[in-house]
């Protein structure tokens, strides 16, 4: 599945389940992301997460506003979010390694 995400990251923006994902390939060392709950896209500066994946495999994530609750109804929604982060990281590392 990570290969599918490589093309999505290159596009700069895509939808995944309940999330809008904005991507910026900063340079050959990192890829920046913003994850915004799709229903909150108009208020993106307040809702969601931003982070990056670096060349060394490390990644950092924070809430955009600093006070956003990460709330999941059910195990499935938590799994979807976890899968999204894992796939973004795998694809970013693949892109950085190109």
What are the domain boundaries of the chain? 2-96
Q: Is the dihedral of CA 82, 68, 36, 73 positive or negative?
A: positive
pLDDT tens-place string over residues 16-67: 887 888 888 877 688 888 888 766 556 555 567 888 898 888 998 887 776 6
Q: What pLDDT was estimated at residue 44? A: 56
Q: Residue by residue, what is the 3-state secondary structure of the chain? A: CHHHHHHHHHHCEEEECCEEEEEEECCCCEEEEEEEEHHHHHHCCCCCEEEEEECCCCEEEEECCCCCCCCCCCHHHHHHHHHHHHHHHHHHHHHHCC
Q: What pLDDT was estimated at residue 57? A: 87
Least confident of 4-8, 62-66, 89-93: 62-66
Q: What pLDDT was estimated at residue 75? A: 93
Q: What is the total residue count of the chain?
A: 98
């Amino acid at each position: 599945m990570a290969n599918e995400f490589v093309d999505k990251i290159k596009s700069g923006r895509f939808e995944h389940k309940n999330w809008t994902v904005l991507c910026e390939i900063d340079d050959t060392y990192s890829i920046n992301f913003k994850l915004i709950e799709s229903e909150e896209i108009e208020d993106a500066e307040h809702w969601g997460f931003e982070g990056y994946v670096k060349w060394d495999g490390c990644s950092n994530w924070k809430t955009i506003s600093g006070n956003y609750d990460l709330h999941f109804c059910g195990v499935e929604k938590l799994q979807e979010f976890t899968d999204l982060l894992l796939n973004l990281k795998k694809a970013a590392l693949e892109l950085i390694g190109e």
